[in-house]
Amino acid sequence: MSHHKLVLSLLALSFAAPGIYAEPAPAATSQAAVNAVDPAAIQALKKMGAHLQTLQRFQVRTELSSEAVLEDGQKLQQSSSAEIQVQRPNKLRAVMRSARAERELIYDGKTVTLYTPALKYYATTELAGNIGGMIDQLEARYGVQIPLSDLFLWGTDAAPLDKIESAMNAGQDFIGKDLCDHYAFRQGKVDWQIWITTGDAPLPRKLVITNRSDEARPQSVSYMAWNLKPTFTDAIFKFTPPKGAQAIGIRPLNTK
């Protein structure tokens, strides 16, 4: 395997569903679509986002099922998981696992390290700033995405809620033992649904994204489990290369 392929392999970190804000809404929005937006549903997102921004130290695990569509229209379901540990404002560790690969990402506020345990390759780059800024820089420079990155958009000006074309309250459901309010949204070629725990501490527990640009309507489904009193220490945000691990470079995306 060439050095170039090693870099690309290491940076293949996006096991999560695509960001719900990734698909821009059309420039022209009909009056019917404007009327379809329930202000209470938008307010629920704002309330959830405001609560997420208050969380200083937490751990969240997600179980993801996503669909790949073959040329003949047959769907194949794939599963993966991710666990994220956070210490605001600028420390994050993410571990992403599937049957195909395992990846780790560690951010200590100054540097980001990407590590593949199976191959024992790691790459480090300097990226200073808060977690949201690091996520933006990592994707813009290297095309690397972090699972559940939208959690760091909700509750900030970067969440383009004004681009949502329709929003509705779809009732309530239990996710595990948590009673959740169920909301459905349409934005460009993406439909997405979110289940948010009821009460004064709203947390997202389930997310479903449907891609309407594909006639097969592939979906991704994520379940999120929260630990707001984690026992990890700051040592997890420091990467120490294991014995035999080899450092490789990170190649930025081609820019013109």
The answer to the question of residue 58 being in a domain is yes
Distance CA 53, CA 248 (A): 35
Q: Give the model's pLDDT for residue 254.
A: 73
CB 204 within 8 A of CB 195: yes
The answer to the question of residue 253 being in a domain is no
What CATH number has the domain bearing residue 69?
Answer: 2.50.20.10
Segment 156-161 long-range contacts (CB within 8 Å, at least 24 positions apart): 156/49, 156/53, 156/132, 158/132, 159/21, 159/45, 159/49, 160/21, 161/42, 161/45, 161/46
Q: Give the model's pLDDT for residue 19.
A: 57
Strands 204-211, 219-227: pairing is: antiparallel
Q: Give the model's pLDDT for residue 108.
A: 97
The answer to the question of residue 134 being in a domain is yes
User: Which ranges of the chain have pLDDT less than 70?
Assistant: 1-35, 255-256
Q: Give the model's pLDDT for residue 253.
A: 85
Owning domain of residue 195:
3-247
Amino acid at 134: M
CB 138 within 8 A of CB 128: no
Q: Which of 241, 191, 223, 205 is nearest to 62 (CA)?
A: 223
Q: Give the model's pLDDT for residue 229.
A: 97
Q: Give the model's pLDDT for residue 255.
A: 54
The answer to the question of residue 252 being in a domain is no
Tally of structural domains, the chain: 1
The answer to the question of residue 63 being in a domain is yes
